[in-house]
Structure 1
Amino acid sequence: MPLPSTDVLLVIDVQNDFLPGGALAVPDGDAVIAPINRLAAHMPHVILTQDWHPPGHASFHATHPGKAPFDTADLHYGEQVLWPEHCVQGTRGAELAADLRAERAELVIRKGCHPGIDSYSAFLEADRRTRTGLGGYLAERGLTRLFLAGLATDFCVLWSALDARRAGFEVLVVEDAVRGIDLDGSLARAWEAMARAGVGRIASGDLASLA
Protein backbone atom coordinates (compact mmCIF):
# COMPACT_ATOMS: atom_id res chain seq x y z
CA MET A 1 0.00 0.00 0.00
CA PRO A 2 1.48 3.41 -0.95
CA LEU A 3 2.12 6.13 1.59
CA PRO A 4 -0.41 8.97 1.81
CA SER A 5 0.03 11.70 -0.79
CA THR A 6 0.50 14.20 2.04
CA ASP A 7 3.85 12.63 3.09
CA VAL A 8 7.18 14.17 2.15
CA LEU A 9 10.81 13.17 2.59
CA LEU A 10 12.89 16.17 3.66
CA VAL A 11 16.57 15.49 2.99
CA ILE A 12 18.87 17.82 4.91
CA ASP A 13 22.26 18.94 3.56
CA VAL A 14 23.71 15.77 2.03
CA GLN A 15 26.60 17.71 0.51
CA ASN A 16 30.25 16.94 -0.17
CA ASP A 17 31.61 19.13 2.62
CA PHE A 18 29.63 17.12 5.20
CA LEU A 19 30.83 13.74 3.90
CA PRO A 20 34.14 11.99 4.72
CA GLY A 21 37.00 14.09 3.35
CA GLY A 22 34.88 17.25 3.35
CA ALA A 23 35.64 20.50 5.11
CA LEU A 24 33.14 19.78 7.91
CA ALA A 25 32.77 16.03 7.70
CA VAL A 26 30.10 14.36 9.80
CA PRO A 27 31.39 11.00 11.10
CA ASP A 28 30.00 8.21 8.94
CA GLY A 29 28.04 10.84 7.02
CA ASP A 30 28.07 8.93 3.75
CA ALA A 31 26.11 6.10 5.41
CA VAL A 32 22.91 8.14 5.07
CA ILE A 33 22.94 8.04 1.27
CA ALA A 34 21.78 4.46 0.70
CA PRO A 35 18.76 4.62 3.03
CA ILE A 36 17.80 8.04 1.67
CA ASN A 37 17.89 6.69 -1.88
CA ARG A 38 15.64 3.79 -0.87
CA LEU A 39 13.23 6.16 0.85
CA ALA A 40 13.15 8.59 -2.07
CA ALA A 41 12.06 5.80 -4.41
CA HIS A 42 8.89 5.25 -2.40
CA MET A 43 8.00 8.68 -1.00
CA PRO A 44 5.20 10.64 -2.71
CA HIS A 45 7.26 13.84 -2.46
CA VAL A 46 10.94 14.67 -1.92
CA ILE A 47 12.45 18.01 -0.89
CA LEU A 48 16.15 18.73 -0.43
CA THR A 49 18.00 21.42 1.47
CA GLN A 50 21.43 22.74 0.65
CA ASP A 51 23.77 24.85 2.77
CA TRP A 52 24.77 27.69 0.43
CA HIS A 53 27.09 30.20 2.09
CA PRO A 54 28.69 33.23 0.43
CA PRO A 55 32.47 33.61 0.92
CA GLY A 56 33.35 35.17 4.27
CA HIS A 57 30.11 34.04 5.90
CA ALA A 58 29.61 35.11 9.51
CA SER A 59 29.56 31.48 10.69
CA PHE A 60 33.12 30.81 9.44
CA HIS A 61 35.84 30.99 12.10
CA ALA A 62 38.21 32.61 9.59
CA THR A 63 35.83 35.58 9.36
CA HIS A 64 36.61 36.33 13.02
CA PRO A 65 40.34 37.03 13.61
CA GLY A 66 41.77 35.02 16.48
CA LYS A 67 38.94 32.48 16.51
CA ALA A 68 39.38 28.75 15.95
CA PRO A 69 36.92 26.19 14.58
CA PHE A 70 34.14 25.41 17.06
CA ASP A 71 34.75 28.57 19.10
CA THR A 72 31.72 30.81 19.50
CA ALA A 73 31.06 34.44 18.66
CA ASP A 74 28.30 36.84 19.68
CA LEU A 75 26.48 37.91 16.54
CA HIS A 76 23.50 40.25 16.31
CA TYR A 77 21.08 37.35 16.84
CA GLY A 78 23.00 35.66 19.67
CA GLU A 79 25.77 33.12 20.20
CA GLN A 80 27.03 31.43 17.05
CA VAL A 81 29.22 28.34 16.76
CA LEU A 82 32.06 29.11 14.35
CA TRP A 83 32.68 26.45 11.74
CA PRO A 84 35.45 25.70 9.25
CA GLU A 85 34.68 27.26 5.89
CA HIS A 86 32.19 24.97 4.20
CA CYS A 87 29.52 24.79 1.50
CA VAL A 88 30.63 27.98 -0.19
CA GLN A 89 28.38 28.87 -3.10
CA GLY A 90 29.52 27.36 -6.38
CA THR A 91 32.22 25.11 -4.90
CA ARG A 92 32.45 21.33 -5.08
CA GLY A 93 32.00 21.16 -1.32
CA ALA A 94 28.57 22.76 -1.63
CA GLU A 95 27.39 20.29 -4.27
CA LEU A 96 24.96 17.54 -3.38
CA ALA A 97 26.60 14.13 -2.95
CA ALA A 98 27.16 12.51 -6.32
CA ASP A 99 25.54 9.24 -5.22
CA LEU A 100 22.41 10.94 -3.87
CA ARG A 101 19.43 10.15 -6.10
CA ALA A 102 18.18 13.73 -6.26
CA GLU A 103 16.20 13.53 -9.49
CA ARG A 104 12.84 13.08 -7.73
CA ALA A 105 13.25 16.23 -5.66
CA GLU A 106 10.45 18.71 -6.33
CA LEU A 107 12.18 21.56 -4.49
CA VAL A 108 15.68 22.47 -3.32
CA ILE A 109 15.79 24.97 -0.46
CA ARG A 110 19.12 26.81 -0.23
CA LYS A 111 19.82 28.22 3.22
CA GLY A 112 22.53 30.25 4.91
CA CYS A 113 22.68 32.54 1.90
CA HIS A 114 22.68 35.78 3.93
CA PRO A 115 26.27 36.82 4.76
CA GLY A 116 25.51 37.73 8.36
CA ILE A 117 23.06 34.99 9.37
CA ASP A 118 23.61 31.27 9.73
CA SER A 119 20.80 28.82 9.04
CA TYR A 120 20.58 25.35 10.53
CA SER A 121 16.83 25.02 10.10
CA ALA A 122 15.15 24.37 6.78
CA PHE A 123 12.35 26.71 7.93
CA LEU A 124 13.86 29.65 9.84
CA GLU A 125 17.34 31.11 9.78
CA ALA A 126 19.32 31.64 12.98
CA ASP A 127 17.93 35.11 13.65
CA ARG A 128 14.59 33.28 14.07
CA ARG A 129 12.87 35.83 11.83
CA THR A 130 14.11 35.19 8.30
CA ARG A 131 12.01 32.47 6.67
CA THR A 132 13.17 30.15 3.92
CA GLY A 133 9.68 29.77 2.46
CA LEU A 134 9.53 26.02 3.07
CA GLY A 135 6.63 26.25 5.53
CA GLY A 136 4.49 28.12 3.03
CA TYR A 137 5.36 25.71 0.25
CA LEU A 138 4.36 22.70 2.32
CA ALA A 139 1.11 24.37 3.40
CA GLU A 140 0.14 25.33 -0.16
CA ARG A 141 0.87 21.82 -1.38
CA GLY A 142 -1.13 20.27 1.47
CA LEU A 143 1.85 18.25 2.72
CA THR A 144 1.42 17.46 6.41
CA ARG A 145 3.76 14.64 7.47
CA LEU A 146 7.53 15.04 7.18
CA PHE A 147 10.17 12.32 7.26
CA LEU A 148 13.55 13.88 8.00
CA ALA A 149 16.88 12.44 6.88
CA GLY A 150 20.37 13.77 6.32
CA LEU A 151 23.05 15.74 8.16
CA ALA A 152 23.66 16.50 10.91
CA THR A 153 21.26 15.06 13.49
CA ASP A 154 22.29 17.45 16.26
CA PHE A 155 22.26 20.65 14.22
CA CYS A 156 20.38 21.06 10.94
CA VAL A 157 18.13 18.00 11.35
CA LEU A 158 17.35 18.98 14.95
CA TRP A 159 16.50 22.61 14.18
CA SER A 160 14.45 21.63 11.13
CA ALA A 161 12.49 19.05 13.11
CA LEU A 162 11.72 21.46 15.96
CA ASP A 163 10.64 24.24 13.60
CA ALA A 164 8.47 21.82 11.64
CA ARG A 165 6.70 20.81 14.85
CA ARG A 166 6.20 24.47 15.82
CA ALA A 167 4.63 25.02 12.41
CA GLY A 168 2.15 22.21 13.08
CA PHE A 169 3.58 19.41 10.94
CA GLU A 170 3.83 15.78 12.01
CA VAL A 171 7.53 14.89 12.02
CA LEU A 172 9.45 11.63 12.09
CA VAL A 173 13.24 11.35 11.93
CA VAL A 174 14.51 8.28 10.06
CA GLU A 175 17.15 6.98 12.47
CA ASP A 176 19.29 5.04 10.02
CA ALA A 177 19.24 7.92 7.52
CA VAL A 178 20.79 10.56 9.82
CA ARG A 179 24.22 11.00 11.43
CA GLY A 180 25.44 13.52 14.00
CA ILE A 181 28.52 15.57 14.83
CA ASP A 182 28.19 15.14 18.63
CA LEU A 183 29.99 18.15 20.10
CA ASP A 184 30.19 17.64 23.88
CA GLY A 185 27.07 15.49 24.06
CA SER A 186 25.05 17.45 21.52
CA LEU A 187 23.70 14.29 19.87
CA ALA A 188 22.02 12.94 23.01
CA ARG A 189 20.63 16.39 23.79
CA ALA A 190 19.24 16.63 20.26
CA TRP A 191 17.31 13.38 20.52
CA GLU A 192 15.96 14.43 23.92
CA ALA A 193 14.84 17.83 22.59
CA MET A 194 13.11 16.24 19.61
CA ALA A 195 11.32 13.72 21.83
CA ARG A 196 10.04 16.53 24.08
CA ALA A 197 8.71 18.33 21.01
CA GLY A 198 6.78 15.30 19.81
CA VAL A 199 9.14 14.30 17.00
CA GLY A 200 8.86 10.59 16.23
CA ARG A 201 11.64 8.16 15.35
CA ILE A 202 11.43 5.41 12.76
CA ALA A 203 13.76 3.09 10.86
CA SER A 204 13.61 3.21 7.08
CA GLY A 205 12.62 -0.46 6.98
CA ASP A 206 9.50 0.23 9.05
CA LEU A 207 8.02 2.73 6.62
CA ALA A 208 5.51 0.26 5.22
CA SER A 209 3.75 0.14 8.58
CA LEU A 210 2.76 3.79 8.18
CA ALA A 211 1.01 3.39 4.83
Structure 2
Amino acid sequence: MLFKPALIVVDLQEDFCPPDGALAVQGGRDIVPLVNDLLTLPFHAKVATKDYHPPDHISFASNHEPPNNVPFISVITIKNPLNAEEVEETRLWPDHCVRGTKGAELIPELDTSKFDHIIEKGQDKRVEMYSAFADPFLSPTVSRSELAPILHDAGVTDVYIVGLAADYCVKYTAVDARKHGFNTWVVGDATRAVDPSSLPEVYKVYEEMGIRVIGKDDAFQRIKDVDRVA
Protein backbone atom coordinates (compact mmCIF):
# COMPACT_ATOMS: atom_id res chain seq x y z
CA MET A 1 0.00 0.00 0.00
CA LEU A 2 1.40 3.40 -1.02
CA PHE A 3 2.66 5.42 1.96
CA LYS A 4 4.33 8.78 1.36
CA PRO A 5 4.25 10.82 4.57
CA ALA A 6 4.89 14.52 5.07
CA LEU A 7 5.65 16.41 8.27
CA ILE A 8 4.10 19.83 8.90
CA VAL A 9 5.63 21.84 11.76
CA VAL A 10 3.13 24.54 12.66
CA ASP A 11 4.18 27.99 13.86
CA LEU A 12 7.19 27.29 16.09
CA GLN A 13 7.86 31.02 16.23
CA GLU A 14 9.25 33.38 18.85
CA ASP A 15 5.92 35.07 19.55
CA PHE A 16 4.28 31.73 20.37
CA CYS A 17 7.01 30.64 22.79
CA PRO A 18 8.06 31.60 26.32
CA PRO A 19 9.66 33.52 27.82
CA ASP A 20 9.09 36.63 25.71
CA GLY A 21 6.48 35.71 23.11
CA ALA A 22 3.59 38.13 22.69
CA LEU A 23 1.21 35.14 22.50
CA ALA A 24 3.32 32.56 24.31
CA VAL A 25 1.92 29.05 24.63
CA GLN A 26 2.88 27.41 27.91
CA GLY A 27 5.51 24.73 27.26
CA GLY A 28 5.85 25.78 23.62
CA ARG A 29 9.61 25.46 23.59
CA ASP A 30 9.54 22.08 25.34
CA ILE A 31 8.45 20.26 22.19
CA VAL A 32 11.43 21.35 20.07
CA PRO A 33 13.74 18.39 20.85
CA LEU A 34 11.00 15.97 19.79
CA VAL A 35 10.24 17.98 16.65
CA ASN A 36 13.93 18.00 15.74
CA ASP A 37 14.03 14.23 16.22
CA LEU A 38 11.04 13.87 13.91
CA LEU A 39 12.82 16.02 11.32
CA THR A 40 15.57 13.40 11.09
CA LEU A 41 13.07 10.81 9.83
CA PRO A 42 12.61 10.07 6.10
CA PHE A 43 9.47 12.10 5.40
CA HIS A 44 8.88 12.78 1.71
CA ALA A 45 8.25 16.45 2.48
CA LYS A 46 9.04 18.56 5.53
CA VAL A 47 7.21 21.86 5.81
CA ALA A 48 7.34 24.65 8.38
CA THR A 49 4.53 27.17 8.66
CA LYS A 50 4.67 30.72 9.97
CA ASP A 51 2.08 33.26 10.95
CA TYR A 52 3.27 36.32 9.04
CA HIS A 53 0.83 39.14 9.70
CA PRO A 54 0.74 42.75 8.55
CA PRO A 55 0.61 45.22 11.48
CA ASP A 56 -3.02 46.09 10.72
CA HIS A 57 -4.26 42.50 10.81
CA ILE A 58 -7.91 42.06 11.73
CA SER A 59 -7.15 39.58 14.54
CA PHE A 60 -5.12 42.11 16.55
CA ALA A 61 -7.07 43.63 19.44
CA SER A 62 -5.08 46.84 18.99
CA ASN A 63 -6.79 47.39 15.64
CA HIS A 64 -10.28 47.56 17.17
CA GLU A 65 -12.09 50.13 19.27
CA PRO A 66 -12.89 49.57 22.96
CA PRO A 67 -14.63 48.05 24.74
CA ASN A 68 -14.65 45.05 22.37
CA ASN A 69 -10.89 44.84 21.99
CA VAL A 70 -9.64 42.81 24.93
CA PRO A 71 -6.95 40.30 23.88
CA PHE A 72 -7.85 36.65 24.52
CA ILE A 73 -11.41 37.60 25.50
CA SER A 74 -13.13 39.72 22.85
CA VAL A 75 -14.70 37.97 19.86
CA ILE A 76 -15.59 39.75 16.62
CA THR A 77 -17.54 38.84 13.51
CA ILE A 78 -15.62 39.00 10.25
CA LYS A 79 -17.47 39.25 6.94
CA ASN A 80 -16.01 37.59 3.90
CA PRO A 81 -14.64 40.60 2.00
CA LEU A 82 -15.73 38.93 -1.24
CA ASN A 83 -19.17 37.86 -0.01
CA ALA A 84 -20.77 39.83 2.82
CA GLU A 85 -23.33 37.08 3.47
CA GLU A 86 -20.61 34.69 4.70
CA VAL A 87 -19.36 35.45 8.23
CA GLU A 88 -16.97 33.92 10.76
CA GLU A 89 -16.40 34.68 14.43
CA THR A 90 -12.83 35.05 15.63
CA ARG A 91 -11.06 35.79 18.90
CA LEU A 92 -8.88 38.86 19.22
CA TRP A 93 -5.21 38.47 20.12
CA PRO A 94 -2.24 40.60 21.10
CA ASP A 95 -0.17 41.80 18.17
CA HIS A 96 1.97 38.81 17.20
CA CYS A 97 4.14 37.43 14.39
CA VAL A 98 4.22 40.74 12.56
CA ARG A 99 6.17 40.26 9.35
CA GLY A 100 9.76 41.43 9.57
CA THR A 101 9.89 41.33 13.39
CA LYS A 102 11.79 38.98 15.68
CA GLY A 103 8.48 37.59 16.93
CA ALA A 104 7.72 36.20 13.47
CA GLU A 105 10.98 34.25 13.26
CA LEU A 106 11.18 30.50 13.72
CA ILE A 107 12.82 29.77 17.07
CA PRO A 108 16.58 29.17 16.79
CA GLU A 109 16.47 25.77 18.50
CA LEU A 110 14.45 24.40 15.57
CA ASP A 111 16.59 22.69 12.92
CA THR A 112 15.39 24.73 9.96
CA SER A 113 18.00 23.16 7.68
CA LYS A 114 15.75 20.11 7.39
CA PHE A 115 12.77 21.89 5.82
CA ASP A 116 11.91 21.60 2.15
CA HIS A 117 9.40 24.45 2.29
CA ILE A 118 8.37 27.30 4.58
CA ILE A 119 4.76 28.48 4.26
CA GLU A 120 3.84 32.01 5.38
CA LYS A 121 0.19 32.48 6.28
CA GLY A 122 -2.15 35.12 7.65
CA GLN A 123 -0.85 37.78 5.32
CA ASP A 124 -4.25 39.13 4.23
CA LYS A 125 -5.21 41.72 6.84
CA ARG A 126 -8.93 41.18 6.20
CA VAL A 127 -9.25 37.56 7.34
CA GLU A 128 -8.10 35.19 10.06
CA MET A 129 -6.12 32.19 8.84
CA TYR A 130 -5.37 29.57 11.48
CA SER A 131 -5.06 26.80 8.91
CA ALA A 132 -1.84 26.57 6.93
CA PHE A 133 -3.97 25.76 3.88
CA ALA A 134 -6.50 28.60 3.69
CA ASP A 135 -8.74 30.99 5.55
CA PRO A 136 -12.10 29.55 6.72
CA PHE A 137 -14.27 31.22 4.09
CA LEU A 138 -15.67 28.99 1.37
CA SER A 139 -17.83 31.17 -0.88
CA PRO A 140 -15.21 32.08 -2.01
CA THR A 141 -11.98 31.44 -0.12
CA VAL A 142 -10.05 34.71 0.22
CA SER A 143 -6.50 33.59 1.00
CA ARG A 144 -4.98 30.26 0.07
CA SER A 145 -1.37 29.07 0.54
CA GLU A 146 0.70 26.78 -1.67
CA LEU A 147 0.64 23.98 0.91
CA ALA A 148 -1.95 21.76 -0.79
CA PRO A 149 -0.25 21.90 -4.23
CA ILE A 150 3.15 21.22 -2.63
CA LEU A 151 1.84 18.10 -0.89
CA HIS A 152 -0.13 16.84 -3.88
CA ASP A 153 2.78 17.44 -6.26
CA ALA A 154 5.01 15.39 -3.93
CA GLY A 155 2.52 12.53 -4.04
CA VAL A 156 1.96 12.71 -0.29
CA THR A 157 -0.61 10.30 1.14
CA ASP A 158 -0.27 10.96 4.87
CA VAL A 159 0.28 14.20 6.78
CA TYR A 160 1.81 14.29 10.27
CA ILE A 161 1.28 17.54 12.17
CA VAL A 162 3.12 19.00 15.18
CA GLY A 163 3.58 22.47 16.64
CA LEU A 164 1.58 25.35 18.06
CA ALA A 165 -1.07 25.76 19.09
CA ALA A 166 -2.93 22.48 19.43
CA ASP A 167 -6.33 24.15 19.79
CA TYR A 168 -5.94 26.68 16.98
CA CYS A 169 -3.47 26.49 14.09
CA VAL A 170 -2.63 22.80 14.57
CA LYS A 171 -6.33 21.93 14.79
CA TYR A 172 -7.39 23.87 11.71
CA THR A 173 -4.41 22.69 9.69
CA ALA A 174 -5.27 19.08 10.57
CA VAL A 175 -8.92 19.57 9.64
CA ASP A 176 -8.02 21.08 6.28
CA ALA A 177 -5.44 18.37 5.59
CA ARG A 178 -8.19 15.79 6.02
CA LYS A 179 -10.54 17.78 3.79
CA HIS A 180 -7.84 17.74 1.10
CA GLY A 181 -7.89 13.96 1.20
CA PHE A 182 -4.75 13.22 3.20
CA ASN A 183 -4.65 10.62 5.93
CA THR A 184 -4.00 12.94 8.87
CA TRP A 185 -2.10 12.27 12.08
CA VAL A 186 -1.46 14.70 14.95
CA VAL A 187 1.54 13.80 17.13
CA GLY A 188 0.05 14.85 20.45
CA ASP A 189 3.36 14.77 22.34
CA ALA A 190 4.72 17.41 19.96
CA THR A 191 1.94 19.97 20.40
CA ARG A 192 0.90 22.42 23.12
CA ALA A 193 -2.39 24.28 23.53
CA VAL A 194 -3.35 27.84 24.40
CA ASP A 195 -6.15 26.33 26.52
CA PRO A 196 -5.41 22.70 27.42
CA SER A 197 -8.96 22.27 28.76
CA SER A 198 -10.23 22.65 25.18
CA LEU A 199 -8.40 19.55 23.93
CA PRO A 200 -11.23 17.03 24.56
CA GLU A 201 -13.42 19.07 22.22
CA VAL A 202 -10.60 19.29 19.67
CA TYR A 203 -10.13 15.52 19.80
CA LYS A 204 -13.86 15.01 19.36
CA VAL A 205 -13.67 16.95 16.09
CA TYR A 206 -10.71 14.81 15.07
CA GLU A 207 -12.59 11.60 15.81
CA GLU A 208 -15.57 12.72 13.75
CA MET A 209 -13.30 13.49 10.79
CA GLY A 210 -11.06 10.44 11.00
CA ILE A 211 -8.00 12.37 12.18
CA ARG A 212 -5.85 10.31 14.54
CA VAL A 213 -3.86 11.56 17.53
CA ILE A 214 -0.78 9.44 18.13
CA GLY A 215 2.21 9.43 20.47
CA LYS A 216 5.83 9.99 19.58
CA ASP A 217 6.73 6.29 19.69
CA ASP A 218 3.98 5.44 17.22
CA ALA A 219 5.12 8.24 14.92
CA PHE A 220 8.72 7.05 14.96
CA GLN A 221 7.70 3.46 14.33
CA ARG A 222 5.55 4.42 11.34
CA ILE A 223 8.12 6.66 9.65
CA LYS A 224 11.58 5.32 10.43
CA ASP A 225 11.68 2.73 7.65
CA VAL A 226 10.20 4.86 4.89
CA ASP A 227 12.51 5.14 1.88
CA ARG A 228 13.00 8.79 1.08
CA VAL A 229 12.25 9.74 -2.52
CA ALA A 230 14.20 12.74 -3.77
Task: Say which SS state the counterpart of residue 167 (structure 2) adopts.
Answer: helix
Aligned counterpart in structure 2 of residue 186 of structure 1, from 198, 202, 205: 198
Native 8 Å contact 1:9 1:43 kept in 2: no
Alignment pair present for 1:109 and 2:119: yes
Aligned counterpart in structure 1 of residue 165 of structure 2, from 130, 142, 152: 152
Structure 2: segments with no counterpart, 5+ residues: 80-86, 226-230
Alignment pair present for 1:17 and 2:15: yes
Aligned to 2:188: 175
Partner deviation per Cα, 1:78-128 (whole Å, 9 max, x = no partner):
211100000000100000011001111111110000011111001111334
Alignment pair present for 1:161 and 2:160: no
Structure 1: segments with no counterpart, 5+ residues: none
1:78-117 → structure 2 map (5 Å cutoff): 78-117=88-127
Task: Say which SS state the counterpart of residue 206 (structure 1) adopts.
Answer: helix
RMSD after superposition: 1.5
The 2-side partners of 1:43 and 1:17 are apart by 29
Partner deviation per Cα, 1:140-184 (whole Å, 9 max, x = no partner):
11011111000000000000101111110011111110000117x
Normalising by structure 1, we get a TM-score of 0.93
Alignment pair present for 1:51 and 2:51: yes
Closer, same or farther in 2 for the Cα pair 1:166/1:60, shift >3 Å? Answer: same
Normalising by structure 2, we get a TM-score of 0.86
Native 8 Å contact 2:133 2:176 kept in 1: yes
Q: Which structure has the larger Rg over C-alpha atoms?
A: 2
Number of aligned residue pairs: 207
The 2-side partners of 1:208 and 1:55 are apart by 39
Aligned to 1:27: 26
